[in-house]
Amino acid sequence: MPKVIGLDFGTTNSAIAVATMDGTARLATFSSDGQPTAMFRSVLYFDPENLEPTGKPRAVGGPEAIARYLQAETKGRLIQSMKSHLGSALFKHTVIFNSTFTLEELIAMIIRELRVVAETQFGSLGHLSIMA
């Protein structure tokens, strides 16, 4: 049955939901401090020791990002409130542990994590089209 995906990318929290043609809708849930929540914190955490095969730092997002930041012995970089910079022509990129990231790349990381969780709970989302 076809699915409609709803994505709310917020400055503080984000959420993703799936609606089917029969009229049912479900929010994806995430674990935060061992409790389920429909809100995914719009944050990224970069640990200087967690690297992609390319050598770029790998980010984790949402509740896991906050937990890793608080538990890390060597503090990495926590990025939040990315949405507040979308309207600024001044924000071109940021450098995280000698790797450059654009704002679009950072936001894409959060959206990818939301999609992975949604697909785990609802099955494949297929090819997505963006509608404003």
Binned average pLDDT, 10 residues per bin, the chain of 132 residues:
82 92 89 89 95 94 93 90 88 92 94 92 72 46
- The pTM of the full predicted model, rounded to 2 decimals, is 0.87
Long-range own/partner contacts, residues 25-29 (CB < 8 A, 24 or more apart): 26/121, 26/122, 28/114, 28/117, 28/118, 28/121, 28/122, 29/121
* Nearest by Cα to 117 from 23, 25, 31, 44: 31
Domain annotation for the chain: domains and CATH numbers = 3-122 (3.30.420.40)
Q: In this structure, are residues 98 and 51 in contact, taking their beta carbons and an 8 Å threshold?
A: no
Q: Determine the pLDDT at residue 132.
A: 43
Q: Which residues pair with 18 in a beta bridge?
A: 5, 26
Q: Determine the pLDDT at residue 39.
A: 92
Q: Determine the pLDDT at residue 15.
A: 95
